[in-house]
């Protein structure tokens, strides 16, 4: 039994106690700033002007020197200047939402300035277009792993997109709500941001990843930072995911443009449909969309019928107004309603999730001066949720209701004070009110708290500095977070067996430093190191013998308000090569998590499950490697591949870390003869057996498997596009190692068998 008084375990660490891990990073950044200029290579400068087809300047376009960390945003006049570029012929990529990407070649000469004018063409609206970028340590978006394969993805859930990228995976508990995993990190270890807002799960067991509350058709870009380098995004990001949905088109686009789509998947019996409308005058623009999707049960490759039905509808919109050429005010929001969601990997199914969100954002980008950008946003986010076990073989009928109501905001400034320095400074914060209660179907039985009115508040301040030293790019970030959690009440069992102290507070520093420099004209090396803290969430601090998704098998969990914040220390090494016909990258990393919030078995009496586990602080370490390569065999044929390996150990428990994905390799062959949406692609995924498991916590070994997919696309007259494909072509019976286990049969939730799909889109 836990001690009644656990205050000794929650002793707050002084602020100075976190300085030593950051000092080496800051020292490395300072030393790098004084690298002698004579050691740098021959470089030149590039001035770029970006305009549309009517010769109007395009602001806030991304200008990137391909294969390097050199890049900039265009100002209000559509101009950008990039210095310290290695001499020679350089590929320059320009991107802007609402336009087609444009790549050009320009010759850079030593100590001279080259000029380039880029004309961007409007891009047709495609609800299915998803752009996934995986950031290197320096957070420069020139590493785009598997983007084209993802663009034609056929996901039922945003989490499915992660399974095709090295180092990323997802946990399946049913047809909806797949939980992204980044290098073994999951749940709130991975910060989830939607349109700049920090989002949180609404379910008391956390089974609903925040990304499950975004329809896949709405996603326009998804950025992933693998490690403690997203310190300016928000608090507690051991890794982070940032999703952007539909954007308001550029000024002058026209009053109305749109797109609609319809899709159907066999086996799943899944139907999806949606429409989007957008337009923009000279100063005001809008985008409005609606989408609906539904799915039934499915069969695995071995003929096992799996409950996986759900229904989901969503509406969202944005209106943007430019009071001046350098300022934009944007009002946005969405409403999503999910119904009747089967979770074969959970002891309950979901009756509903209702999600509401709204935001007001002001962006200011002066044409000249030290201040380059000011970005301010306030937002609200709410999730209401109910589950029940009516269709489960449980001894007692029970329902749970829960909610999360959050208010937050962010303010940042981007400064260019001169001498090659770029500075970003700002702050962010949120306060979230969590409530969860279990309600027996028998009205004569009392309700019980899962947790009572838990309020979690975080206020953070950050500063990021970046400087180019010839072709070398140096960057460093420091962040201070002040965290507090408290609960209004707890039941007698919790107060007696855990603690009667229901509040906690901490102040913690995080920091990261990165260095990127070219080895020659084609190869670049990046190194990064960082340390970041994450305080426990409501589930980890206040659970009262309630099931959670932390384990694969059914169990109950009890929280501890006095848990120390876990600290992740990570080192990365990236090597990247870029040639006209092929590219390659290799990433090596090592991570140590001090005070990792883990679980251990107790002798506490359970309510319904076989055993009660408690959340505790421990120690863990991870290391791994990820590699990608792509070669253009012919002008219209490309071969690509990737592989990833992760090793994890919970040193405090002397056993493998829980939920480590096995060795995996991807291979794809693609034919795309022109920029008109024609393509044919065959891909395979081979996953090794995983026998390094956390057996004391119910993790099961899984065999390896190989899955083959094929898909194709073709444009039709009248603005219609057609995509068809077959997933799991060989109809293999398999389950992903991370998948949840049915709590009543102790069998893993299998993946769907063969699924054929068709998708029609119409642009107008």
Question: DSSP of 643-666, one letter per residue?
Answer: EEEEEEEETTTTEEPTT----EEE
Structure tokens at 455: 């309020």
pLDDT of 299 > 80? The answer is yes
Rounded to two decimals, the pTM is: 0.84
Give the pLDDT mean for 612-624.
Answer: 93
Clarify whether residues 64 and 189 are in a common domain: no
What per-residue confidence (pLDDT) applies to 416? Answer: 84
Q: How far is CA 332 from the centre of its chain?
A: 20
Burial per residue of 117-143, b for 16 or more beta-carbon CB atoms within 10 angstroms, e otherwise = ebebeeeebbbbbbbbbbbbbbbbbbb
Point out the least confidently predicted range of 201-210, 645-654, 715-724.
201-210
236 falls in which pLDDT band (50, 70, 90)?
very high
| Domain-located, residue 1 | no
Check: CB of residue 497 under 8 Å from CB of residue 3.
no
**CB neighbours (10 Å) of residue 17?**
11
What per-residue confidence (pLDDT) applies to 745? Answer: 86
CA 263 vs CA 125, 154, 158, 178: distances in Å: 17, 9, 16, 20
- Of the ranges 153-157, 328-332, 343-347, which is most confident? 328-332
Clarify whether residues 112 and 139 are in a common domain: no
What per-residue confidence (pLDDT) applies to 58? Answer: 82
Clarify whether residues 57 and 187 are in a common domain: no
| Domain-located, residue 29 | no
What per-residue confidence (pLDDT) applies to 396? Answer: 83
Clarify whether residues 392 and 419 are in a common domain: yes
What per-residue confidence (pLDDT) applies to 116? Answer: 92
pLDDT of 709 > 50? The answer is yes
Query: Quick one: CA dihedral 217, 315, 344, 648, positive or negative?
Result: positive
Q: Which residues contact 450 (CB under 8 A, 6 or more apart)?
A: 204, 400, 402, 436, 437, 438, 542, 543, 544, 546
- Choose the final residue of a domain: 101, 120, 139: 120
What per-residue confidence (pLDDT) applies to 34? Answer: 41
Query: Tell me, what CATH number does 49's domain have?
Result: 2.60.40.10
* Average pLDDT of the chain to the nearest whole number: 85
Residues 448, 452: Cα–Cα separation, whole Å? 10
- Choose the final residue of a domain: 88, 104, 120: 120
pLDDT of 33 > 80? The answer is no
Burial per residue of 611-649, b for 16 or more beta-carbon CB atoms within 10 angstroms, e otherwise = bbbbbbbbbbbbbbbbbbebebeeeeebebbbbbbbbbb
Clarify whether residues 565 and 584 are in a common domain: yes
| Domain-located, residue 556 | yes
Query: Tell me, what CATH number does 384's domain have?
Result: 2.40.170.20
Give the pLDDT mean for 707-730.
Answer: 93
642 falls in which pLDDT band (50, 70, 90)?
very high
Q: Torsions phi, psi of 686, nearest 5?
A: -115, 125
Of 596, 614, 459, 615, whose CA–CA distance to 533 is shortest?
596
Clarify whether residues 326 and 262 are in a common domain: yes
Point out the least confidently predicted range of 224-228, 311-315, 384-388.
224-228
Of 406, 459, 452, whose CA–CA distance to 433 is shortest?
406
What per-residue confidence (pLDDT) applies to 221? Answer: 78
pLDDT of 26 > 80? The answer is no
What per-residue confidence (pLDDT) applies to 594? Answer: 95
What per-residue confidence (pLDDT) applies to 577? Answer: 85
Clarify whether residues 17 and 83 are in a common domain: no
Clarify whether residues 299 and 425 are in a common domain: yes
pLDDT over 70 percentage in the chain: 88
| Domain-located, residue 31 | no
| Domain-located, residue 643 | yes
pLDDT of 385 > 80? The answer is yes
What per-residue confidence (pLDDT) applies to 123? Answer: 56
85 falls in which pLDDT band (50, 70, 90)?
confident
Structure tokens at 374: 């000011």
Point out the least confidently predicted range of 7-21, 196-210, 449-463, 637-651.
7-21
What is the extent of the structural domain holding 91?
A: 42-120
| Domain-located, residue 733 | yes
| Domain-located, residue 659 | yes
- Choose the final residue of a domain: 91, 120, 149: 120
Q: Torsions phi, psi of 475, nearest 5?
A: -145, 150
554 falls in which pLDDT band (50, 70, 90)?
low
What per-residue confidence (pLDDT) applies to 295? Answer: 95
Give the pLDDT mean for 532-546.
Answer: 90
Which tens digit of pLDDT belongs to each residue from 104-130? 889 988 889 999 999 987 654 333 334
| Domain-located, residue 537 | yes
Give the pLDDT mean for 605-625.
Answer: 89
Give the pLDDT mean for 355-368.
Answer: 91
Structure tokens at 643: 């592989």
Structural domain tally of the chain?
A: 2
Which tens digit of pLDDT belongs to each residue from 558-590? 999 999 999 999 999 988 887 878 888 899 999
Clarify whether residues 74 and 185 are in a common domain: no
Overall size of the chain counted in residues: 764
Which tens digit of pLDDT belongs to each residue from 419-437? 778 899 999 999 999 999 9
Give the pLDDT mean for 410-420.
Answer: 88
Structure tokens at 487: 């609960």
pLDDT of 297 > 90? The answer is yes
Q: Comparing 19 with 193, which gets the higher pLDDT?
A: 193
What per-residue confidence (pLDDT) applies to 550? Answer: 64
What per-residue confidence (pLDDT) applies to 134? Answer: 46
Clarify whether residues 336 and 480 are in a common domain: yes
Point out the least confidently predicted range of 195-209, 329-343, 445-459.
195-209
Which tens digit of pLDDT belongs to each residue from 460-494? 999 999 887 777 888 899 999 999 999 998 888 89
Of 392, 295, 395, whose CA–CA distance to 346 is shortest?
392
Check: CB of residue 592 under 8 Å from CB of residue 621.
yes
Clarify whether residues 449 and 564 are in a common domain: yes
What per-residue confidence (pLDDT) applies to 136? Answer: 46
Clarify whether residues 628 and 674 are in a common domain: yes
């Amino acid at each position: 039994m836990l001690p009644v008084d656990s205050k000794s375990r929650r002793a707050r660490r002084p602020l100075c106690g976190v300085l030593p891990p950051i000092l080496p990073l800051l020292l490395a950044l300072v030393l790098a700033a004084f690298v002698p200029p004579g050691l740098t290579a021959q470089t030149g400068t590039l001035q770029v002007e970006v305009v549309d087809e009517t010769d109007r300047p395009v602001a806030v376009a991304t200008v990137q020197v391909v294969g390097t960390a050199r890049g900039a945003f265009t100002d209000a006049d559509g101009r950008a200047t990039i210095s310290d570029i290695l001499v020679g012929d350089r590929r320059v990529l320009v991107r802007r939402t609402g336009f087609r990407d444009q790549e050009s070649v320009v010759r850079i000469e030593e100590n001279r300035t080259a000029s380039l004018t880029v004309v961007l063409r409007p891009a047709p609206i495609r609800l299915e277009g998803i752009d996934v970028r995986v950031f290197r340590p320096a957070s420069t978006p020139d590493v785009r792993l598997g983007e084209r394969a993802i663009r034609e993805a056929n996901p039922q859930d945003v989490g499915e997109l992660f399974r095709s990228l090295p180092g990323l995976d997802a946990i399946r508990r049913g047809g909806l709500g797949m939980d992204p995993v980044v290098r073994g990190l999951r749940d709130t270890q991975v910060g989830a941001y939607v349109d700049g807002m920090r989002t949180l799960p609404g379910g008391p067991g956390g089974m609903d990843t925040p990304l499950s509350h975004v329809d896949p058709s709405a996603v326009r870009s998804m950025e992933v930072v693998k490690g403690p380098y997203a310190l300016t995004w928000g608090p507690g990001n051991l890794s982070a995911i940032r999703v952007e949905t539909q954007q308001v088109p550029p000024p002058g686009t026209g009053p109305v443009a749109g797109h609609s789509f319809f899709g159907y998947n066999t086996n799943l019996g899944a139907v999806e449909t949606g429409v989007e409308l957008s337009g923009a005058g000279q100063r005001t623009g809008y985008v409005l969309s609606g989408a609906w999707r539904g799915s039934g049960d499915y069969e695995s490759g071995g003929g096992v019928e799996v409950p996986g039905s759900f229904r989901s509808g969503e509406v969202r919109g944005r209106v943007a107004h430019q009071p001046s050429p350098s300022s934009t005010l944007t009002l946005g929001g969405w409403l999503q309603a999910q119904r009747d969601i089967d979770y074969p990997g959970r002891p309950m199914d979901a009756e509903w999730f209702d999600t509401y969100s709204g935001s007001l954002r002001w962006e200011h980008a002066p044409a000249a001066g030290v201040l380059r950008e000011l970005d301010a946003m306030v937002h609200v986010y709410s999730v209401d949720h109910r589950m029940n076990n009516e269709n489960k073989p449980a001894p007692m009928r029970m329902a749970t209701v829960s909610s999360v109501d959050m208010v937050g905001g962010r303010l940042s400034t981007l400064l260019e004070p001169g001498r090659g320095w770029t500075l970003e400074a700002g702050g962010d914060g949120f306060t979230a009110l969590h409530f969860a209660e279990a309600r027996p179907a028998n009205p004569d039985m009392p309700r019980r708290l899962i947790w009572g009115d838990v309020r979690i508040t975080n206020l953070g301040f950050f500063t990021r500095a970046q400087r180019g030293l010839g072709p070398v790019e140096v960057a460093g970030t420091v962040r201070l977070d002040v965290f507090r959690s408290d609960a209004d009440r707890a039941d007698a069992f919790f107060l007696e067996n855990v603690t009667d102290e229901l509040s906690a507070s901490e102040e913690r520093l995080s920091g990261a430093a990165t260095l990127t420099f070219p080895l020659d004209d084609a190869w670049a090396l990046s190194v990064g190191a960082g340390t970041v803290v994450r305080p426990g969430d409501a589930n980890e601090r206040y659970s009262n013998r309630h099931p959670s998704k932390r384990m694969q098998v059914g169990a109950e969990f009890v929280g501890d308000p006095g848990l120390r914040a876990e600290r992740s220390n990570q080192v990365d090494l990236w090597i990247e090569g870029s040639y006209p016909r092929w590219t390659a990258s290799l990433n090596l990393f090592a991570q140590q998590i001090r005070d990792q919030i883990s679980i251990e078995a107790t002798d506490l009496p359970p309510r319904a499950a076989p055993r009660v586990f408690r959340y505790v602080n421990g120690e863990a370490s991870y290391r791994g490697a990820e590699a990608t390569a792509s070669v253009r065999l012919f002008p219209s044929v490309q071969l690509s591949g990737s592989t990833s390996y992760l090793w994890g150990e919970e040193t405090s428990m002397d056993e493998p870390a829980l939920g480590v994905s096995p060795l995996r390799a991807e291979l794809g062959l693609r034919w795309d003869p022109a920029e008109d949406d024609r393509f044919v692609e065959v891909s395979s995924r081979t996953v090794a057996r995983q026998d390094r498991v956390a057996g004391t916590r119910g993790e099961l070994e899984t065999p390896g498997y190989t899955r083959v997919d094929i898909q194709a696309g073709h444009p039709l007259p009248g603005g219609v596009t057609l995509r068809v494909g077959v997933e799991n072509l060989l109809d293999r019976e398999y389950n992903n190692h991370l998948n949840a286990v049915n709590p009543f049969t102790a069998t893993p939730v299998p993946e769907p068998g063969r699924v054929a799909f068709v998708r029609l889109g119409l642009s107008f």
